Copies of this chain bind each other. A is one copy, B any other.
Amino acid sequence: MEWQGLSLIGTGRGEPGGKSFTGWDPAAGVALEPRYHSAHPHEVERACKLAEEAAPAFAALPSRQRAVFLEHIAEALLAAEADFLAVTPRETGLPTARIQGELGRAAGQFRQFAKLLEEGSWVDARIDHAMPDRRPAPRPDLRSMLRALGPVAVFGASNFPLAFSTAGGDTASALAAGCPVIVKAHPAHPATSERAGEAIRAAVTACGLPEGVFSLLFDAGMDVGRALVKHPAIRAVGFTGSRAGGRALMDLAAARAAPIPVFAEMGSINPVFVLPEALATRPEAVADALATSILQGAGQFCTSPGLLVAAEGPGYESFRARLVERLGAVSAVPMLTPGIAERFRESVARLAARTDTRTWVRGEGREAHGAPALFEVVASAVLTDAALTDEVFGSCAVLVRTREPRDITRVASHLEGQLTATLMVEPGDHALASEMLPVLADRVGRVLVNGVPTGVEVCPSMVHGGPYPASADGRFTAVGTGALRRFVRPVCFQDVPEPLLPAELRDANPLDLWRTVDGVLARK
């Protein structure tokens, strides 16, 4: 494909002339071709108008036809593998194998939603039949099902150029729900975004859908994103990125004449609690698993473990020594962008400059490169200064030493909302673990035992989200089939004649769905 550096607005293209920017190769330190042009205000307007026009027909499209559309996207993405391998590793500094894996994940997400739509019961159809003889008043016939919210604005993420960006989880779940999508491309990987956008656009055309179902807008700054969030046609926002960025969008959306939900996945420090018997019996093995997780992808995951909590006692010294050895053995690696690397180095420098931290590992980094870091503090410091538990985006961990095992629970109960929390346990730790589980369940989206938080499965039970500030609204997940629930709302039909009802709500159940009929779940 030939990259044009222009927004995709329905079947058309944006015009040059606005502020422009280029991709950047963080490993080589060079700018990349072509030059990308910010969408003009009238182009944002046109994308929104097209999306608004496309919304009713797209929402009304039978689930199974939307499933075919999603399958088309998955195929178009996989067919573009050579293009992605040509541009994405250069734009992101991420290795080829990672990009291959992420492409599979991105396509897989569309396929998983296609399967959900194919089956169809996701609409949560409910039927309560009329009771004409009920006293004192008869009951009417009432039926409800979930329905698309309308156009959704999606912000591409820097750290998952495929699986959480233009053709990522937010886009897949919004399209699955029946919502047109307008993506604001992340400027760190514009060529990847353009290629993914072309794949989705090809699927729109192949399926004969209205062009407004998908648009992709480029922007050198923040004007396009802000305009999208404020536009009356937009009914919800998906975002993955920093807390400051997410909160700014939340505030903007809350201040609208008609406020809309923002699903901002803002990351967290993902605490890991190493309980005494696990620490005593396998300190090196636990340290190895955690070091691998911390180092993975230069720590640029929202689930990267950044806070390790353990009590003084047998195994503690070996645990720390192995962490120091593993993290200290790695030199600086390219991060996604020079800006991300700079913010990482600043955060590390701030931790190193504190009088209450001990620096165990701190390598040199410059330009787009960052080196792993490990600090140690006593528990009381974490309990009194929340700055120690702020996320550092990159391979950096703070080891928190407690006097007593029971102080581990105190640290846990002091934490703000997290995407994940992990317990490292042996059978002798189960009593303490069962005490901690409700504390953690109250604060996080996903609790792990004896695993590492990096690696987020795409499946029905996944919860990728957590109480604020991990995400904007902990009641929803950004990963897995549940992610679709963010973009739908129930509509109730009272005494609507059978021929006017959607197929999902007709008595004969022509789509063979699981439905709640007169309060009982049934497939009839």
A126 within 8 Å of B (CB atoms): yes
Is B433 in contact with A494, judged by CB distance below 8 angstroms? Answer: no
Once the chains are docked, how many angstroms separate the CA of A254 from the CA of B259?
10
Once the chains are docked, how many angstroms separate the CA of A259 from the CA of B474?
11
Is A121 in contact with B475, judged by CB distance below 8 angstroms? Answer: no
Once the chains are docked, how many angstroms separate the CA of A425 from the CA of B467?
47
Is A101 in contact with B136, judged by CB distance below 8 angstroms? Answer: yes
- Taking residues whose C-beta sits less than 8 angstroms from the other chain, chain A's interface range is 35 or more
Main secondary structure on chain A at its contact with chain B?
Answer: mixed
Is A250 in contact with B258, judged by CB distance below 8 angstroms? Answer: no
A442 within 8 Å of B (CB atoms): yes
Is B495 in contact with A442, judged by CB distance below 8 angstroms? Answer: no
Is B449 in contact with A497, judged by CB distance below 8 angstroms? Answer: yes
Is B449 in contact with A496, judged by CB distance below 8 angstroms? Answer: yes
Is A491 in contact with B433, judged by CB distance below 8 angstroms? Answer: no
Q: Mark A481-496, 1 if CB is under 8 A from B, else 0.
A: 0100000111111111
Which of A7-15, A63-71, A217-225, A451-459 contacts its partner? Answer: A451-459
Is B519 in contact with A460, judged by CB distance below 8 angstroms? Answer: yes
Q: Which residues of B contact A444 (CB under 8 A)?
A: 491
Q: Which residues of B contact A31 (CB under 8 A)?
A: none
What is the chain B residue whose CB lies nearest that of A455? B137
Q: Which residues of B contact A491 (CB under 8 A)?
A: 441, 444-447, 463
Once the chains are docked, how many angstroms separate the CA of A337 from the CA of B55?
43
A521 within 8 Å of B (CB atoms): yes
Expressed in whole angstroms, the minimum distance between the Cβ of A289 and any Cβ of chain B is: 12
Q: Which residues of B contact A144 (CB under 8 A)?
A: 460-463, 482
Once the chains are docked, how many angstroms separate the CA of A139 from the CA of B480?
14
A56 within 8 Å of B (CB atoms): yes
Q: Which residues of B contact A34 (CB under 8 A)?
A: none
In the complex, which residues 492-524 of chain A have their Cβ closer than 8 Å to any Cβ of chain B?
Answer: 492-497, 499-500, 514, 516, 519, 521
A273 within 8 Å of B (CB atoms): no
A434 within 8 Å of B (CB atoms): yes
Is B258 in contact with A469, judged by CB distance below 8 angstroms? Answer: yes
Once the chains are docked, how many angstroms separate the CA of A459 from the CA of B144?
11
Q: Mark A139-154, 1 if CB is under 8 A from B, else 0.
A: 1101110010110000
In the complex, which residues 428-451 of chain A have their Cβ closer than 8 Å to any Cβ of chain B?
Answer: 430, 433-434, 437-439, 441-442, 444-451
Expressed in whole angstroms, the minimum distance between the Cβ of A219 and any Cβ of chain B is: 25
Q: Which residues of B contact A495 (CB under 8 A)?
A: 448-451
Once the chains are docked, how many angstroms separate the CA of A131 from the CA of B444?
24
Is A448 in contact with B497, judged by CB distance below 8 angstroms? Answer: no
Expressed in whole angstroms, the minimum distance between the Cβ of A38 and any Cβ of chain B is: 29
A-B pairs, top 5 by smallest CB distance, nearest first, are: A254-B254, A463-B492, A126-B461, A144-B461, A446-B492
